[in-house]
Amino acid sequence: MDLDPALASLRPLGGFFVLHGARPSPPRSPAAFAPLAHAYASPYAHTAPDVQVPAGQDPLGFRVRKVAAALGAAETRVAASVAQQGLAARLWSVTLACAALYGRVPDLDPGLLRWDPDATAPDDLWLGEVRTLTDDTETAADVVLTAHLAPLTAAVHTRYGVATGLLWGNAASALAGAGRELDRWARRDGREETAARVRTLTASLLAHPLLAGTGALAGTSFRRRSCCLYYRVPGGGVCGDCCFSRPPGPPRSSPGAPCG
């Protein structure tokens, strides 16, 4: 089944799984949305983290500052990690949901997919034109990993000094989490074939060379080999799939250490 222009079948899923399509109009003014391509290649990439630049001109920097303020994170790299994982979760969620409900995935070309970094799901993403692609693993990997997460990882690593292994761990964690939630929804709704398709696609994507070795998948449970740094947020702890069983002590001497 081809994707409909408004991606209406995603609406019952709510939250992270909804993507606003070409019709109806975006939930806010179109001017609030910038192509995600601008987030990956911002002219402000070398600007100090505390410099205030409008969201439309520097969406990634704006989002990281917003996350830092919301979490009370003193370390910019912690906010950058959390922001990157949140965007990865959105991209995986809409892609897996479309594959599950339509048997197709949308073309999420970074020039077509627009992002409002000041908004929350589901009102943060708007796809200007809905183009239908197949739902095989290679296509899904091209749509999310190659088109978005590779340049996003490079941008966050270069700009905020977050280790690339940690960022790919975030991407894998976001994928596993999206697959797990969609599997639960499908089984609650009696859609066993849909649940099985989601599990198969999730496992296949986690075996992609960019994600292989980031963690271990058992059923829908995932244990990553790295840490997203959320434990360094005031009052924060470790996530359910973290390599740590409890928040570690003093930070390691090497920022590139596998688990921190």
User: What would the pLDDT profile of 135-184 be if each residue is shown by its tens digit?
Assistant: 899 999 999 999 999 999 999 999 999 999 999 999 999 999 999 999 99
Give CA–CA dist 136/46, Å, rounded: 38
Band of pLDDT at residue 23, cut at 50, 70 and 90: low
Band of pLDDT at residue 246, cut at 50, 70 and 90: confident
The answer to whether residue 237 is domain-embedded is no
- State the residue range of the domain holding 65: 8-23+57-232
Instruction: Compute, in degrees rounded to 10, the torsion defined by CA atoms 107, 4, 14, 103.
Output: -70
Query: Using the 8-state DSSP alphabet, how is residue 148 labeled?
Result: I
Half-sphere exposure of 176 (CA within 13 A, CB side): 24
The answer to whether residue 171 is domain-embedded is yes
The answer to whether residue 227 is domain-embedded is yes
Enter the tokens of residue 103.
Answer: 């048997």
Min mean pLDDT across 89-98, 157-166, 183-192, 250-259 is at: 250-259
Enter the tokens of residue 97.
Answer: 């949901």
Enter the tokens of residue 177.
Answer: 């989490």
The answer to whether residue 16 is domain-embedded is yes
> For 220-236, how does the pLDDT look when each residue is reduced to its tens digit (9 = 90+)?
999 999 999 989 988 88
Give CA–CA dist 180/58, Å, rounded: 32
Give CA–CA dist 12/31, Å, rounded: 27
The pLDDT value given to residue 257: 41
Enter the tokens of residue 110.
Answer: 């970074």
The answer to whether residue 190 is domain-embedded is yes
Q: Write b or e for each residue in 204-232: b if 16 or more Cβ atoms lie within 10 A of its Cβ, otherwise e.
A: ebbebebbeebbebeebebebbbbbbbbb
Give CA–CA dist 169/177, Å, rounded: 12
Which residues are within 8 A (CB) of 185 and not within 5 positions of it... i.e. 6 or more apart?
13
Residue 208 and residue 126 in contact, taking contact as beta carbons nearer than 8 Å = no
Half-sphere exposure of 240 (CA within 13 A, CB side): 8
The answer to whether residue 258 is domain-embedded is no
Residue 140 and residue 211 in contact, taking contact as beta carbons nearer than 8 Å = no
The answer to whether residue 137 is domain-embedded is yes
The total number of structural domains in the chain stands at: 1
**How confident is the prediction for the chain on average, in pLDDT?**
88
The answer to whether residue 39 is domain-embedded is no
Verify cis geometry, omega within 30 degrees of 0, for the bond prior to 24: yes
The pLDDT value given to residue 242: 87
